């Protein structure tokens, strides 16, 4: 198996003219510089109480659902739950992650498949594709710096889900602007979802 390097990746054609550099980790010197710069920010963590409330409801609902599955739910309801879990999960893994964030493959029958993946992604309630892909590209480019949305140096809970409960560190927005997201904004499926489905287009 060949490990991608700046040399051999750059020679390959990139899907939809996306710049190869954004899929590669930043140089170690750049990462170290970002880590030092991140300490200089007068950054105070701001809790997003709406997200805290939504996650609390989600977990309470999960416990109620678990009780229902064990003691009360019909098999059709359990089957529907499993279907929705797989449906939304594929929207994230095959859609937002592999197709749109990394451009790992081209969808056969692209329009229909991409529309389906967008619907599946929307059902997972994990923001729109453009925001998801931007955060994920930041994560790979500037791993474990303050420009990484789920920076593991801020602790296990933060990396797992805490990052969704607070405002983003200023470095994420600054570095995120350096990424080429033109492939996503040129994709009518992504822009349709952003404007009409998730309402993040403002």
Average pLDDT of span 173-196:
91
Average pLDDT of span 37-55:
83
Inside any domain, residue 126: yes
Average pLDDT of span 53-69:
94
Query: For the chain, what percent of residues have pLDDT higher than 70?
Result: 80
Tokens of 69: 């599955």
Structurally, the chain folds into a number of domains equal to 1
With bands split at pLDDT 50, 70 and 90, how would you rate the model's confidence at 3? very low
Inside any domain, residue 90: yes
> Rg for the chain (alpha carbons), in Å?
19
* Domain of residue 159, residue span: 45-197
pLDDT tens column, 7-16: 443 344 444 4
Res. 22: pLDDT tops 90: no
Average pLDDT of span 180-202:
83
Res. 20: pLDDT tops 80: no
pLDDT tens column, 93-125: 999 999 999 988 887 766 678 899 999 999 998
> pTM of the full predicted structure?
0.79
Inside any domain, residue 202: no
Helices 75-90 and 110-123, axial angle in degrees (round to 10):
120
Inside any domain, residue 158: yes
Residue 175 vs residues 26, 168, 195: alpha-carbon distances, Å:
11, 12, 24
């Amino acid at each position: 198996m060949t490990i991608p390097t700046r040399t051999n990746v750059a020679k390959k054609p990139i899907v939809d003219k996306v710049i190869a550099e954004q899929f590669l980790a930043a140089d170690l010197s750049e990462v170290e510089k970002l880590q030092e710069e991140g300490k200089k920010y007068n950054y105070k963590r701001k809790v997003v109480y709406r997200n805290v409330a939504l996650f609390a409801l989600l977990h309470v609902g999960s416990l109620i659902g678990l009780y229902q599955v064990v003691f009360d739910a019909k098999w059709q309801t359990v089957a529907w739950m499993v279907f929705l879990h797989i449906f939304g999960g594929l929207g994230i893994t095959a859609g937002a992650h592999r197709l749109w964030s990394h451009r790992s493959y081209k969808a056969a029958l692209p329009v229909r498949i991409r529309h389906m993946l967008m619907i599946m992604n929307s059902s997972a309630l994990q923001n729109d594709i453009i925001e998801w892909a931007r955060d994920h590209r930041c994560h790979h480019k500037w791993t474990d710096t303050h420009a990484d949305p789920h920076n593991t140096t801020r602790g296990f809970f933060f990396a797992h889900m805490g990052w969704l409960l607070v405002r983003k560190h200023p470095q994420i927005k600054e570095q995120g602007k350096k990424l080429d997201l033109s492939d996503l904004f040129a994709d009518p499926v992504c822009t349709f979802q952003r404007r009409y489905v998730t309402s993040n287009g403002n």
